[in-house]
Each structure stands twice: as C-alpha cells, then as structure tokens.
A and B are shown apart, each in its own frame.
Chain A
Amino acid sequence: MTTIAEGFKIDGAHLAQTLQELREQLGSLEEGVVLDFSSVPGLDTAGLQELEKLAGAAEKKAVKITLCGVNVAIYKVLKLARLTSRFTFAD
C-alpha cells in the first residue's frame, strides 16, 4: 500500500507531488494500488489535475487504483470533476 503524505493543505504541494511520483512508477505495479486518503483534508487544483492524470495513466496500463479513506468533501470534488468513475473506493 502506498500512503499519501499526511497533513495536506488546500494550497499545499505534497499531494500533487506524491501523485506525480506514483504515476511515474505505475509500470511497476502489476495488480493495482490502494491510496490512503485518510490524512488528506482537501484537494487543490494541482492535486486534482494529478489525480486525473493518474487515472489516465492507470487506465492505459490497466492498473486498478483504489482510493480509501476519502472524506466526503474530497469525494464531492471528484464527483464534480467527473472522476469518481475512474477509481474504485474503499473505506
């Protein structure tokens, strides 16, 4: 399991950076990856864009990405951005 950096703030850069790094490593993940969002309080634009890129890259490489511990505010952001169908979600 890859755990996303904790203490992410709306204007922080950790989330986007972590997602970018993950996207670059996707080729080595055969079965899929679970991202723990339980310490992520919110998404900024850069983070959202990285998530979208990650979804695209994962689809190309047939890697399943599961987001767990996503709070409802982030879930709504993903819904508004039409991204929920591109991930699976777990508690």
Chain B
Amino acid sequence: MSDRTITLSEERIAYLEALVQQASAAAAVFSQFTQEDVDRIVKPMVLAGLEQAQYLARLAVEETKIGVMEDKAIKNMVATEFVYNYVKDKRTVGVICEYPERSLVEVAEPIGVLLSLLPITNPTSTVLFKCIMAIKTRNAVIFSPHPNAWKCCFEAARIMYETAVKHGAPEGVFTCLESHTLDDNKYLMRHKDIGLIDATGGPGAVKAAYSSGKPALGVGAGNTTVYLEKSADIDMAVVDIITSKTFDNGTICASEQTVVIDDEIYQKTLDKFASLGAHICNEQETEILSRTVIDPKTGFMQPMAVGQNGGNIARFAGIRVKSKTKLLVTPIEGVGPNFPLSAEKLFPVLSVYRAKSVDEALKVCVDVNHNGGLGHTAVVFSNNEEVILKFADVINAGRIIVNSPGSIGALGGVYNDMVPTFSFGCGTGGGNSTTDNVNVFHYLNIKRVARRTQAHMWFRVPNQIYFNMNATENLRNFPSRSTLIITSPALEAIGHIEIVKRCIAPESPVRVTIIPDAEPDIKIMRQGVEALNFYKADQIIALGGGSVIDAAKIMKLQYEFPEADLEELAAPFLDLRKRVVQYPTVKTNHARLIAISTTSGTGSEVTPFAVLTDKERGFKVTLADYSLTPDVAIVDPQFVMSMPRGLTVDTGVDCLTHALEAGVSIFASPYTDSNAMQAVRLVFKYLPIAFENPKEEEARSMMHNAACIAAIASSNASVGVNHALAHEFGARFKVPHGRANALMLPHVIAYNASVPTKFMPSPNQRTYIAHKKYAMMADLLALGGHTVEEKVQNLITATEQLLDHLGVPRSIAALGISKGEFEKAVPELAKIAFDDPSWRSNPRMPLVEELVELLWAAYRGRGPLAAEAQERHPEKLVAV
C-alpha cells in the first residue's frame, strides 16, 4: 500500500500491520460463534462497564478536562445498561429475522474488522457502547482514540477486552492504537482488511473516514435547533433544556444550541431560565461571549470552551455571573457568520431568538438547521400537533425530539423509544449514509434468503354464461329500464335482432344502435356512448362478432367512467395485476353488458380485452382489464348456423390457437388447462364437421362452445408468440386474424416444443414443460407416439392435416405475397411483434431473430412445400 500523502516508517507500518492481522485472526475465529456464545460474553461485559462506570468517568474528566464526572458516569451506565436492554434479546447471529408470509429470512454476516475512531467529548461511554455492539455482532475492533483521550479510552477498552476474553471471546478481538498520528488513521482507513470505519468525532475525522473509500459510519457535528412554541408547557421545556444543555457540560452533540421562542412567551421563558440558575446575557455580554468562545476565523467553537461549565465560560469571557450559574443564555437576532453564537456550542451557552410568528420561528429554525446542523438533531416544544408536524416536515434532522431534552432524548431509550446509541447517523445532510441511531444492525451485513414463491393466480369469467340452442331466451331473466342493442348491419339484415328483441322482457324499452361491421372506431364508440347517455341505458346487449362486442365493451367503459382516458388505459404492462395505470372503479352510470357472440372464434363474450381504432389519428389501442369482461355471455349456436364457410375456418382456427397457446402459457394453471385441453379436443373433432356440413347443429354448437371455452382459457392464461406474429402480419397484409394465426401455428408449436434460447421467468413452473403440454394434447387427441418428441410431432402433423383439410393456405407465399415484398416487411414485422404484449406469457422468450425465422418459416409454409423451400433457401430455415 503506497500513498504519497502518508509518511510512516517501516517499523510503524509493521506495527499497524500486526494490529490488523491480530484483529483479522480474531474476527475469523469469531465467525464460528453462535448466538448463545456471544450473548454469554456480552452480559459480563455490560456488568463490568456498570461496575467501572464512575472510575472510567473520573479518568475521562481527569485526562480530557472536559465535562462532568457524574454525568459521564451516567453516560457510561446508559452505554452499558440501556444498550444491553436493547440488544439482549436481539438475534445477531445466524437467522436474525423471518418473514414467513414473504418466504424471506434474514441471516447475519459479521463485517470482520472495524476501525473505530473515538471522540474526546464522550470517550469512555463510546468505547463501552462500541465494544458491546462488536461482541454482539462477532466483529473485531481496532480503536483509534482522540489523542487527548487515549488513556481513558485504552482503559475502557482493556476492561471490556479482558472481560470478553475471560468469557470466551477470541484473543485480539479489541486492540487500541498506541499514541498515533493522522497518518496511522489514514493507513488503517485504507487497509484492505478493515471492513468498516466507525468514526465518532469531529468533522475532520468523519470527513477522512468518508474520503477513504471504505464503507463508513461517520457521526460528527450538529447544531441542534429548538422551537419553543407558545402552546408548550414552558416550565417543563425550560427544565428539559437546562437538563440537556448542562448534561456533561453540553458535550453531547445533540444538545440544544439555539432556542427560537414565540414572542408571546419570550420574556416569561427567559424569566424562567433565570429563576432556575441561568444567566441572561445583555447585548454587551453576548458580544464579548461570541468573541471569546467562537473562533472568528473559522466560525467554530474554541476548543478550550468545550465541555466547560457555565461559571468557567463566564470567567473566560470576563462576565460577572452568580456562583453556580448553570447556563449562559445569549439573545441573538439572526443566524449565520454575522451571528457567531448561532453555531454549535458544546458548552453551556444557549442562544435564544425572539420570533414574532410561527412562520418566522420555523424559518429561523431552518436557518439554524442549515448552519451546520443538517441531518443531526432538532427539538420542538409544543402542544400543537400541526406545529410539531410542520416542524418535522421542514427540519432536516435524523432525530426530531418532541417535548423532551435534546441530548438525552437523542441517546434513545430514556425519554422515548428510539434505539439507545452513542452514534447519531446524520443522513446525507451530515455526509452520512444513515439517519438512524447507530446500533448493532449497522455492524452487520444482513443477507436475505429469498425462497421461491408462487405468484397468486386467478381465474375470472363472466358472472353467468348461457349456452346451447336458443340460450338467448335467458334474456328474459334480466329486467331493464332501458336496453340498447349494439349490432352490425349484416345481423340486422338477416333478422337476428328480432330474435333478440323477442327474448327481452316485454316491459323493457329497447333501442338499437347499428355500428359498421368493422373494427370499432373511436368515432363510432362516441356515438354509442351518446346513445347510452340519451336513453339512460341500464343494459347493453352486444350482438355480433368480436368487433361489435369489443365496441360495446368500450362504450360501456366510457359510459360508466366518462373521465377514463382510453389512451392512458392502453399503456403497456407486463403483469395485468401490477399495471401502472389502473382502471377507474367509481362509476358515474351503471349498465349491465350482455354479450351474444355470432361467430365461433374470438370468444370476446368472455374476455377482458377490447381493441379500438382511431382512424382519424391512425392508431389502434388494445385495452385489457377484467372490468371489460361482459357481465353475461350467451353462447347460442342459432346465430352461427349460417356462418359462411370461410368465416367458420378463420374463426375456428383462431379458437384453436387460443387453446394451444393458453395450454402452454407460463400463466397456465389447472383451471385454464382444463378449458384449453377441452377446447383443443372439441376443435379437432367438430371443426371439420362444421366445415363440411355447416348445418350440422351439434358441430356448430360444440364449435361455439369451444370458442367460448378457449377464450376462457386464454383470457386467464393469455396467448403467446403465435398471436404476436399474427397481429402484425395480419394488419400489414390484410389477412384475417384467424388465417394469419393458422399460417404461423405449426411452426410456433415446433418452436415452443424445442429447447429455448432464452427461458421465460416463470415462478409458477418448476421446469420447461411446453413440449410435455403439447404431448398431453396429443394424447388427448389419441394421436399416438411413445416419446414426448413423437407426440409433439404427431400434434404438429395433425394440426397441419386439419389446416389442409380446411383449405387453409399452406404458406404466406401461397397468399400471393412476393418474396421481395415480404423480405422488405420482415424486419419491421419482427420488431413490432416483439413489442406486442401477447408473447409475454409465451413459454419461450423470443429473440427478434427468432421471430424473423418464424416469419420466414411461415412464408415457406408447412408440409412438403416447406421441405422444398428449405432446399431453395437453407439459410432462412428455422431449426424446428
């Protein structure tokens, strides 16, 4: 270790190295100790400290010439007894805290070797405190006392060390630097085997600690501001302030420095101070005192004044006071360099300021706080809760002591329930890393053992689903004052609306809104909302395919929540339950949404999704929230009996894709699996029949059920990469959604069934199971095969055969899209597909290049065509 700023002899370096080595060995051995081992050592140390409290206090006063022996003895007792009471039942070894509800456990790890800088003001109490903390946490300490407090610190450390070793602590656990220089501290502060610097002392020591590059707890100067507000108990406040400010002659850095007093109680307060032994300085005395006890060059207190009693301070300044004067009270009219006594004064000189209002008082307190007191301690005396909270809000202090003495209050455990300490964390305002009262937990590395948890899953469906032929008759069960039917022109033309109207309770007024048979547009949606408002509708019946039902969902949303911002609600999210933008919950209007599907594919009648287009501004938003799910779904096959063959195929394959993707989703659950698997079975059995014989009622009915069941699965487990690709490809080349899905489907099954390049984080699944889920589906379809691989291949083949049977084009190329045109589109398609939220639940996390490969696989197509294409373009083929 070489440092041009450090000048140490070889002998000195050898000495320091030996100290560190000894402490390191002790810390290493200490790491094996149990909680019981350390607790067995701590208690006798505390008793030894208590027994020697007066002896050590006397040593400290004799050596430092600072403070009051009796008060230092009390400090030594607080540092042992009070700290012991706090730490005795604390676990600091092994498992120290358990959070079973979060499956989290905290385990303690000692720091190792600490370098501890000790102050002149509270030397022995600080040693006692730190020794107890170190043993409790299995750390070794090298003490570096203030040069003028070395003997008493050494003696305190010796007593603690000998007691600790006697009761089993490792030899060398405490060491104390012999007479030392700043270079010794610098050398140690940068030593690789020092784990933490705990610097209690003046600003120089703290700054050096924080500048060393080592983790440090630096606790130094303050400037405690006090607000004495007119509602306070003045008698109590004055006694508390005198008690605190004269305790050990004001050497505790949390003691009161400037008291801001409300005008109304100012004189009464000063009279009280005077009656209890304080001397109220006049203007001239204040001026003399400020020149005597504050260094005019630095603005800091004169060292000779620190810890001296009131009489001595007055004598230094040549001020005549009564004998046994406890405190010198100095009225000041401002804060800062022009008012030297507004600075920190670790002796019984207390500045007071007369404030004409609460506002002025708080501002002066802020000034004092920012005049060297940031992050440390502040005090407020008041019985007005509003004032107390306002003070706490504007003052930056780690400890805000209310209606009690600052110094003893800040130590904790006497006047309040704060943690007992002899080190005050001063936060970033004081250049520290903590605002806490430093305690055993700052002497530990705390390890979090986080056990795997399962995310809470859900399964949400509409309140009621009516299915089978003529299920629409159940509309009679839903009375309404005003019903609006939303449908498309085509359904009006073939008379479906009349069927619905006949099923509505006769007393319910019914109106109809026809929307174009296309994607819901924002303009249409607004017209629908106007109609809902005009008719004061309490029931909406959406009769149609996905577009009509989506439009109705969005109309209902805007009708019930007129302030809802659709663009904001469409904000992206990763997990529906943790989304940043929440859907509104307080409704302006109420309307029941009954969805009657007239296609067997999207399943929009049970899903929480809706797509909206703004043609004017040229954007599309996908809304997703369970509040969008219709209240009632009616799955009545009478409306699909006349569905054209092409639509039967496109919607049927869309349904199959929902089921297959939900089945392998990372959000799949036993609840969704049952629906996904059943839907797969129904599609493979009934879609070919419905395709061949559209009038076959059972097939139509079962396909209608399959669409609903698959949508129940996909609305709870979501879809996957197939949908992500199909969305963008379909939109770009105007290919119906179901057909776009079909073109991707066999390739995506193969892709998901192979070993992922990147796994998706999925806490609910213990291993990669997509291929096994596909194999289960193959078994359900009785496709045969002995191994998982064979079964997956059989599922792919069966899917291809189904698509062939339905006449679905085998490839994107077969749609007439040229290779050049497709090649041009692919990069953008892959990029947009990657932004599509659909794949977030896919079992395999897709890389953009893999999306490109899948698009090319779909271009070349399934079956023999693909094999031919592979020969022509081997570089483009995905290895599936």
Q: Which residues of A contact B (CB under 8 A)?
A: 10-11, 42-46, 48-49, 52, 73-74, 76-78, 80-82
Q: Are A45 and B112 in contact (CB under 8 A)?
A: no
User: Please, how many angstroms separate the alpha-carbon atoms of A17 and B27 in the complex?
Assistant: 21
Q: Are B171 and A80 in contact (CB under 8 A)?
A: no
Cβ–Cβ < 8 Å partners of B33 in chain A: 10
Q: Which residues of B contact A (CB under 8 A)?
A: 24-29, 31-33, 37, 112, 168, 170-172
User: Please, how many angstroms separate the alpha-carbon atoms of A44 and B168 in the complex?
Assistant: 10
Cβ–Cβ < 8 Å partners of B170 in chain A: 44-45
Selected A-B contacts with CB under 8 Å, 24 pairs: A10-B33, A42-B32, A43-B28, A43-B29, A44-B29, A44-B170, A45-B29, A45-B170, A45-B171, A48-B29, A49-B25, A52-B25, A73-B31, A76-B28, A77-B28, A77-B29, A77-B31, A77-B32, A78-B28, A80-B28, A80-B31, A81-B24, A81-B28, A82-B24
Cβ–Cβ < 8 Å partners of A52 in chain B: 25
Looking at the complex, which one of A10, A11, A45 makes contact with B26 (CB distance below 8 Å)?
A45
Cβ–Cβ < 8 Å partners of A48 in chain B: 25, 28-29
CB-nearest residue of chain B relative to A44?
A: B29
When A and B form their complex, which 5 residue pairs have the shortest distance between CB atoms, in order from nearest? A80-B28, A81-B28, A45-B171, A77-B28, A45-B170
User: Please, how many angstroms separate the alpha-carbon atoms of A76 and B32 in the complex?
Assistant: 9
CB-nearest residue of chain A relative to B168?
A: A11
Looking at the complex, which one of A73, A74, A80 makes contact with B27 (CB distance below 8 Å)?
A80
Contacts A80-B24, A80-B27: A43 and B172 contacting too (C-beta < 8 A)?
Answer: no
User: Please, how many angstroms separate the alpha-carbon atoms of A48 and B25 in the complex?
Assistant: 7
Cβ–Cβ < 8 Å partners of A45 in chain B: 25-26, 29, 170-172
Measured CB to CB, the closest approach of chain B to A46, in angstroms, equals 7
Measured CB to CB, the closest approach of chain B to A71, in angstroms, equals 10
CB-nearest residue of chain A relative to B26?
A: A45
User: Please, how many angstroms separate the alpha-carbon atoms of A44 and B29 in the complex?
Assistant: 6
Q: Are B168 and A10 in contact (CB under 8 A)?
A: yes
Of the listed residues B26, B28, B33, the one surrounded by the most CB atoms of chain A closer than 10 A to its CB is B28
Q: Are A46 and B27 in contact (CB under 8 A)?
A: no
User: Please, how many angstroms separate the alpha-carbon atoms of A80 and B192 in the complex?
Assistant: 12
Contacts A44-B29, A48-B29, A73-B32: A80 and B112 contacting too (C-beta < 8 A)?
Answer: yes
CB-nearest residue of chain A relative to B112?
A: A80
User: Please, how many angstroms separate the alpha-carbon atoms of A42 and B34 in the complex?
Assistant: 12
Q: Are B32 and A10 in contact (CB under 8 A)?
A: yes
CB-nearest residue of chain A relative to B192?
A: A82
Cβ–Cβ < 8 Å partners of B37 in chain A: 10
Measured CB to CB, the closest approach of chain B to A65, in angstroms, equals 18
Measured CB to CB, the closest approach of chain B to A78, in angstroms, equals 8
User: Please, how many angstroms separate the alpha-carbon atoms of A80 and B112 in the complex?
Assistant: 8
User: Please, how many angstroms separate the alpha-carbon atoms of A48 and B173 in the complex?
Assistant: 14
Measured CB to CB, the closest approach of chain A to B363, in angstroms, equals 53
Measured CB to CB, the closest approach of chain A to B1, in angstroms, equals 15
Cβ–Cβ < 8 Å partners of B29 in chain A: 10, 43-45, 48, 77
User: Please, how many angstroms separate the alpha-carbon atoms of A43 and B170 in the complex?
Assistant: 10
Q: Are B171 and A46 in contact (CB under 8 A)?
A: yes
Cβ–Cβ < 8 Å partners of B28 in chain A: 43, 48, 76-78, 80-81
Of the listed residues A48, A73, A74, the one surrounded by the most CB atoms of chain B closer than 10 A to its CB is A48
Cβ–Cβ < 8 Å partners of A46 in chain B: 171
Measured CB to CB, the closest approach of chain A to B644, in angstroms, equals 72
Measured CB to CB, the closest approach of chain A to B35, in angstroms, equals 15
Cβ–Cβ < 8 Å partners of B24 in chain A: 80-82
Q: Are A76 and B26 in contact (CB under 8 A)?
A: no
Cβ–Cβ < 8 Å partners of B31 in chain A: 73, 76-77, 80
CB-nearest residue of chain A relative to B193?
A: A82
User: Please, how many angstroms separate the alpha-carbon atoms of A73 and B28 in the complex?
Assistant: 10
Cβ–Cβ < 8 Å partners of B112 in chain A: 80
Measured CB to CB, the closest approach of chain B to A90, in angstroms, equals 22
Measured CB to CB, the closest approach of chain B to A8, in angstroms, equals 12
Taking A10-B29, A10-B168, A80-B112 as known contacts, 15 extra A-B pairs with beta carbons closer than 8 A to each other, sorted by chain A number, are A10-B32, A10-B33, A45-B26, A45-B171, A48-B25, A48-B28, A49-B25, A52-B25, A73-B32, A77-B29, A77-B32, A80-B27, A81-B24, A81-B25, A82-B24
User: Please, how many angstroms separate the alpha-carbon atoms of A80 and B172 in the complex?
Assistant: 15
Looking at the complex, which one of B27, B32, B168, B171 makes contact with A43 (CB distance below 8 Å)?
B32
Of the listed residues B27, B29, B32, B37, the one surrounded by the most CB atoms of chain A closer than 10 A to its CB is B29
User: Please, how many angstroms separate the alpha-carbon atoms of A29 and B566 in the complex?
Assistant: 84
Measured CB to CB, the closest approach of chain B to A7, in angstroms, equals 16
User: Please, how many angstroms separate the alpha-carbon atoms of A87 and B384 in the complex?
Assistant: 69
User: Please, how many angstroms separate the alpha-carbon atoms of A10 and B31 in the complex?
Assistant: 12
